[in-house]
Amino acid sequence: MSLSKSDIAEGIRGLAAADTGTGGLFGSPALITGWFWKIAPANQSYPYVIFDIVDVSSDDAFAKDIVEVVFRVRVINTLETTGLTPGLTTSSGIVNRIYSLIHRSTPTIGVGTWVASEIQRINGTENADEDHTEFVEEFRFYMTATAK
């Protein structure tokens, strides 16, 4: 059975969607207004998350198939020009929450013969324009076929 980006994306999103407790991404009150694939809806209120899969590459390792998955999570928030609060503080808190949820966790991918490794953070950067800030975190994990 082959892996699809849709299956992988649902597994990654599932890690975040399960964070519904106090102080969670989707808790009450929620830290973010939404978690979107590639692009947010027009006029989406801040802060929100956009994620996408950067690369899915496969390799044969002896008798097993291995797939490396690299994905990016972007925290988008208003640009705060009057100090560190609330823009930078809020965005940093969301990034830290995502890191604690994703790094070293194992996504559940709904494909029967594949097993995921723990997720590892690769790097993080920050960008800004005149309207918003963007914190970008990249992660990677591997999928191994249990049968060929």
How many whole angstroms separate alpha carbon 31 and alpha carbon 97? 9
Neighbours of 29 (CB within 10 A): 7
- The answer to whether 105 and 52 have CB atoms below 8 angstroms apart is no
The string of DSSP letters for 88-102 reads HHHHHHHHHHHHHHH
Burial environment of residue 116 by CB neighbours within 10 A (0 to 12, 13 to 18, 19 or more) = buried
How many whole angstroms separate alpha carbon 124 and alpha carbon 139? 9
How many whole angstroms separate alpha carbon 120 and alpha carbon 140? 5
How many Å separate Cα 44 from the centre of its chain? 18
pTM exceeds cut of 0.85? yes
Residues in the chain, how many? 148
pLDDT tens series, the chain, 148 aa: 467 888 889 989 999 999 999 889 999 889 999 999 999 999 999 999 999 999 988 876 666 788 899 999 999 998 765 555 566 778 888 999 999 999 888 888 766 678 888 999 999 998 877 778 899 999 999 988 876 5
